[in-house]
Amino acid sequence: MIHILVTGGNGQLASCIKDLASNYKNVHITYTDAHTLDISDNKAVTQFFSKHTVNYCVNCAAYTAVDSAENEMITAKNVNQLGAKNLAIACQANQATLIHISTDFVFDGAQSTLYSEAHKPNPQSVYGKTKYQGEIEIQQHLKRYFILRTSWLYSEHGHNFMRTMLRLAKERDTLSIVSDQIGTPTYAKDLAEVILTLITTNQTAYGLYHYSNEGVASWYDFAQAIFQETQTTIKVIPIKTVAYPTPAKRPAFSVLDKTKIKDTFQISIPYWRTSLQKALKAL
């Protein structure tokens, strides 16, 4: 039996892992949230690992409120950096493997070609900086880890862009959506599938990997696709980032190069629009 700890157990990625878990034999998964395990509390993490068998820890816990993080620096740092460090130390002490979820926000978005794992991060927001610091902590304290950077995560669960668009379409006739930030929407269930596959096939090619769906889109493209797929009639107006100022700076371009993860683990990645159809059907 493989014993898996999933932190951030009420979030959308953990919820997608829950949806898929029954497809995988010989796995026992324990889900925790901030109330049952505060990952920023080193003593609590150490005690949890001493009381439970943990072969794999999937760290889905994160402070992801990108704009709020600009004013809540300490909270973001505690979860995204200190939490990652505490889990890495506990995994090292207990010979467990850590699968940690990171973000395209570690990049500044200044280039116009795909970002590979070899590109140097240069985060422009508190969220991006604390997530990058979390990556560094893991690399310093642990040998057996997979850091999976992803982008624009959405699903039928939790709060995300897809669900927000569908809600706003019921309340408004017109929406203005940013068209000059380019990335790739990623269906959380596709990422959950990859995580469970890495675990159940006992992969040991540890390291840093990029994973998002295939293809390229702007937020405007993503919104348009959501409305087209659901046959929702609403006027969508493309706007520039400067017309919609936010406290946190977002990367203008953050399309991830997935060559390494595809070649290493022989996985095929769905096109973002195909996965969007699946997510809408699940919703």
Phi and psi torsions of 258, nearest 5°? -100, 10
Cα(268)–Cα(230) distance, integer angstroms: 26
Cα(205)–Cα(222) distance, integer angstroms: 33
CB 127 within 8 A of CB 165: no
* Residues sharing a CB contact under 8 Å with residue 226, sequence separation 6 or more, in sequence order: 162, 165, 166, 232, 276, 280
Cα(199)–Cα(58) distance, integer angstroms: 10
Cα(165)–Cα(227) distance, integer angstroms: 8
Residue that has been written with the tokens 């704009």 in this structure:
67
* Nearest CA-CA partner of 178 in 245, 118, 116, 91: 245
Residue that has been written with the tokens 């993490």 in this structure:
45
Buried b (16+ CB within 10 A) or exposed e, 147-181: bbbbbbbbbbbbebbbbebeeebeeeeebebbbeb
Query: What is the C-alpha R_g of the chain?
Result: 18
Select which of 56, 63, 115, 127 is catalytic. 127
Is 127 tagged catalytic? Answer: yes
Residue 234, Cβ density class (10 Å: 0-12 exposed, 13-18 middle, ≥19 buried) = middle
DSSP designation for 264 = H
Consecutive H or E run containing 89: helix 83-93
Positions marked active-site: 127
